[in-house]
Structure 1
Amino acid sequence: MHLHCYVWSGIGEELRNEAERRPPLPPADPGPFTSSPLPPMRTCDWLLKPARRIDASAATPDDALTWLAERYRAMESSFLRPADEARIGLDVRLRNAREALTGGVDVQWGIWLTGGRFLTCGVVCCSPNRHAAYRCPAS
């Protein structure tokens, strides 16, 4: 197994556009879903997005945790509710993410930012993924 890391930051209101966040049932044209910059509704569906959407690939859960921590720290000064986020904290997030990834479970973090923006960071288990039998987008 390896891991792919995805990030999206944008206007939170855009997340309501579920048509662009759900892959179509086959044999429909996947155009709106694959071309949309919006994150998918299900974390595993990131694997259906073009490979250029992969922000990083990780060989181990530790590599993925480093990536998650870097993304978190990069946006920390923009958190909408820093006191609320501090109650959870990065250490708890990383501990939970480690447990999930070690067990082959995808991880998705979502945090509201100032100015109505939203940050989502996802780490998806690839080859195999326990939720979907998708091929690796990087192969």
Structure 2
Amino acid sequence: MVESYLGLFAVAFLAATLLPAYSEVLFAGLLAAGHDPLWLWAWATAGNTLGAAVNWMLGRYLLHFQHRRWFPFKPGTLGPAQRWFQRYGVWSLLLAWAPVVGDALTFIAGFMRVRFAVFLILTAAGKGIRYAMVLALVQGVGITL
């Protein structure tokens, strides 16, 4: 049972970093299998938020490597995210869960030197809302295994 929650944490963590993973599918599957909804929500939110913190640290400390071939973001990805961030400020971190641009937003937040506490609160709120929506959707549809 604990392995399920730790597995969800790990997949949610990876999904928030630069690696392709889809934690919502595992989240919905575990929910449908009868795992505790509150625990699933908490583990997924924590893992996804901490994964985003990795992006914040990369943005904070590794942007000077942006012209290297191995650098995880291409200018075409960073540009729109940076414009979005400059327009809406730290509040854009509430959208850190969004595909493609979300990872870039968390990276840009590090680059823009957003205070880590502010980053963590806003990112966790947005990601928590996303998992709450998945929870409501799965429970509303009534999927069971």
Q: Same fold (TM over 0.5)?
A: no
Instruction: Give the TM-score of the pair, scaled to structure 1.
Output: 0.31
**Which of 1 and 2 has greater Rg?**
2
TM-score, normalised on structure 2? Answer: 0.31
Q: Which has the higher contact order (CA 8 A, sep 6+)?
A: 1
More helix by share: 2
